[in-house]
Amino acid sequence: MAELIYDDQGRLLFTEEMKKEYTLLMPQMLPVHFTMLKRVFELHGYKMDMLTSTHRGIVDEGLKYVHNDTCYPALLVIGQLIDAIKSGKYDPHKVGLMITQTGGGCRASNYIHLLRKALHRAGYDYVPVVSVNLSGLEKNPGFSLNFTMIRQMAFSMIYGDLIVHMANQCRPYEIVEGETDRRIDKWVNRLVGEFSQKGSFKTDFVRENFDRIADDFASIPVRRVPKVRVGIVGEIYIKYAPLGNNNLEEFLRSEDCEPVVPGLTDFIIFKCDNRVEDHKLYGGKTATYLGAGFLENYVKRLQAMMIAAVKRHPEFRVPCTFDHLKGLAKDYLGYGNKMGEGWLLTGEMLELIDSGIHNIVCTQPFGCLPNHVVGKGMVRKIKDNMPQANIVCIDYDPGATRINQENRIKLMLANARMAARKDAKTSKPGRAAKKAEPIRETV
C-alpha cells in the first residue's frame, strides 16, 4: 500500500506511487464529453473510472455528509463519490477521488473542502482527493496538467459539442434504434486515438474532422416526423448531468420531443470573455486581458469551423456564434454579471427563442442564488418581450420528487402542443401544407 504523505496544512497528497496503484474516480457531467476526458487521462497513465450511477441512494449519502444548506450539485457529486467508495466495487485503500475546482465566485471552488470533510465524517481520511484546476489552487506530486493534456481536454469538449449537437437531432428520429449511439462510440474512440498523433490539432485537420463528423451523423437513416423541440438551460451541472436532472433528456424523448441542449463551447468562450470584460470594467493586468482575448478568439475560430460543418446539412439546426448570443443578452443584463452562469444563461434562453425553439426547461438547483437571478428571475422580462416563449423553471433539490418535476414539464408540453395546433390553423395554406408534411426520410 502506498505511503500516505501530507503537506504542511495537513492535506493528504496524491503521490507518484499512488498514480501507479490507485484508481481515480471522476463524477460525470456530460456523458460524451466526459467519456473523452476519461480517455485523455488514461492516455497519460492514470487509472480512471467514471461514475454513471443515478439511484436515490446517492442523494441519501450526500444528505448524510454535506450540510443541507449547500447547493444541490455539491450534494450530488459528493454523495456519488462516497456511494462509490461504499459500493464494494473498489478497494478503499487503492482509490482516489477527482473533482474540479473553479477558483471563481461559485461554491464549486469549495466542493473539494466539503468532500474532504465528508470523507472524514465517513471514516475515509486515507482516501486522497485530487483537484483539477487551471488556477494553481492545489498541487499533487502524482497529478499534473501539462499543455498537451490541457489541449486534449479542451478539444474533447469542442468535439463533444459537435457530436452531441448532431446526435440530439438524429436520435429522436432514427429508423434503426441505437444507430446514433453507435456513431457516438465510433467518434469518441477515433478522436481520442488521434490525440496522440502528430498534427492532430492543426487547423486543417480539425476542420476536416468537423466535416467528417457532421457528414457521418447526417448519413444516419431518419424519419423526420414533426416533434416538439424543447430547450434545456440552467446551472451547468444540473443542465447536463443525468444524475442532476433526473435523466431529463431521456424523459423528453419518451414524451416524443427533441431535446435541444446548448453546448459547452459558449461557456468556455464566456469564461474567457469574462476576463476581457473585467479589464474593461475594473482594469487589471494587461497580460491577463491579452491572454484571455487570444484564447477567446482562438475558440471562436474553432466554433466558426464547427458551425460551417453543420451548415453543410440544411436539415440540421445550426448553433449560433457566441457574439450573436452575447448581443441578444445586452438589453437584459450587463456583461459584468458573471456569477453562476451569469448573463450566458439568459442569453441561451433568448437564442433558443430567436432560433424558433420557444419551449424551454430552465433547471434551477437548490442553493444556487445567482442562477435563480439570471434564470427564473429573467423569465418575466423575456415573456414580456417575447409572448411566444413557453418557459418552465424546474427546481432540483433533495426534497423534490421526480413525478412532480415531470408533471410540470408535461403541463408545459401540453401548452406547446396546443400552441402548435393553433399556429397550424392560422398559418397560410402553403405554409400549413409544408408543416403538415407527415414524413421525411433520409436513408
Q: Is residue 159 pLDDT above 80, yes or no? A: yes
Residue-wise pLDDT tens digits, 53-71: 999 999 999 999 998 788 8
Whether 367 and 232 share a structural domain = yes
Q: Which residues pair with 364 in a beta bridge?
A: 395
Instruction: Indicate the range of 29-33, 169-173, 368-372 predicted with least confidence.
Output: 368-372
Compute the distance between CA of residue 221 and CA of residue 171 in angstroms, rounded to an integer: 10
Q: Are residues 243 and 376 in the same domain?
A: yes
258 and 348 housed in the same domain: yes
Into how many domains does the chain fold?
A: 2
pLDDT at site 285 = 92
Q: Does one domain contain both 259 and 394?
A: yes
Residues 255 and 358 in one domain: yes
Q: Which three cell numbers stand for residue 208?
A: 476536416
Give domain status of residue 218, yes or no.
no
Q: Is residue 274 part of a domain?
A: no
Helix intervals (H) in 87-233: 111-122, 147-168, 179-194, 203-218
pLDDT attached to residue 116: 93
Using 50, 70 and 90 to split pLDDT, how confident is the model at 432?
A: very low
Q: Is residue 314 part of a domain?
A: no
Question: How far is residue 75's CA from residue 111's CA, in Å, rounded to a whole number?
Answer: 9
Q: Rounded distance, CA 39 to CA 46, Å? A: 9
Q: Is the same domain home to 250 and 398?
A: yes
Q: What is the model's pTM?
A: 0.92
In a domain, 114, yes or no: yes
Expressed in angstroms, the distance from the first to the final Cα of the chain is: 56
Choose one of 88, 113, 145: the last residue of a domain. 145
Q: Each residue of 71-98: pLDDT tens digit?
A: 899 999 999 999 999 999 999 999 999 9
Side-chain-facing half-sphere of 22: CA atoms under 13 Å: 29
Range from 21-35, 222-236, 300-314, 422-436 carrying the lowest mean pLDDT: 422-436
Tell me what pLDDT residue 366 has: 86
CA dist 51 and 329 (Å) reads 35
* CA pair distance 398, 76, nearest whole angstrom: 9
pLDDT band at 242 (very low <50, low <70, confident <90, very high): very high
Q: Which residues form the domain of 132?
A: 16-145
Question: Is the domain of 249 the same as that of 359?
Answer: yes
Residue type for position 81: L
d(CA 336, CA 333): 8
Asked if residue 81 is part of any domain, the answer here is yes
Mean pLDDT of the residues in the chain: 91
| Cα dihedral value 161, 166, 171, 177, nearest 10 | -100
Q: How many CB atoms lie within 10 A of CB 16?
A: 12
Please tell me the distance from the alpha carbon of residue 348 to that of residue 232, in angstroms, as a whole number. Answer: 9
Residue range 300-328: mean pLDDT, rounded:
97
Distances (CA, A) of 416 to 128, 147, 205, 228: 49, 47, 42, 7
Element (H, E) at 55: none
180-216 burial code (b ≥16 CB/10 A, e <16)? beebbeebbeebbeebeeeebeeeeebbebbbebbee
At which of 145, 162, 177 does a domain end?
A: 145
CATH of the domain at 344: 3.40.50
Whether 255 and 360 map to the same domain: the answer is yes
Q: Is residue 222 part of a domain?
A: no
**119 and 235 in a common domain:** no
Q: Is 192 helix (H, G, I), strand (E, B) or coil?
A: helix
Identify whether residues 118 and 236 lie together within a single domain.
Answer: no
- Kindly state whether residues 34 and 138 are assigned to the same domain: yes
Residue 124 maps to a domain: yes
Task: Note whether 249 and 347 are same-domain residues.
Answer: yes
Any domain includes 70: yes
Query: For residue 362, which of 412, 417, 419, 418 has the smallest C-alpha distance?
Result: 412
Alpha-carbon gap, residue 228 to 252, rounded angstroms: 9
Helix axes 286-311, 203-218, angle to 10 degrees: 40
Burial class (CB in 10 A: 0-12, 13-18, 19+), 344: buried
Task: Report the alpha-carbon angle 60-61-62, nearest 5.
Answer: 90
Q: Read off φ and ψ for residue 228, nearest 5 degrees.
A: -75, 130
Q: Identify the domain boundary among 125, 145, 165.
A: 145
Give mean pLDDT, residues 363-390. Answer: 92
Which residue, among 252, 7, 267, has the nearest Cα to 116 in the 3D structure? 7
By the 8 A CB rule, do 339 and 370 touch? yes
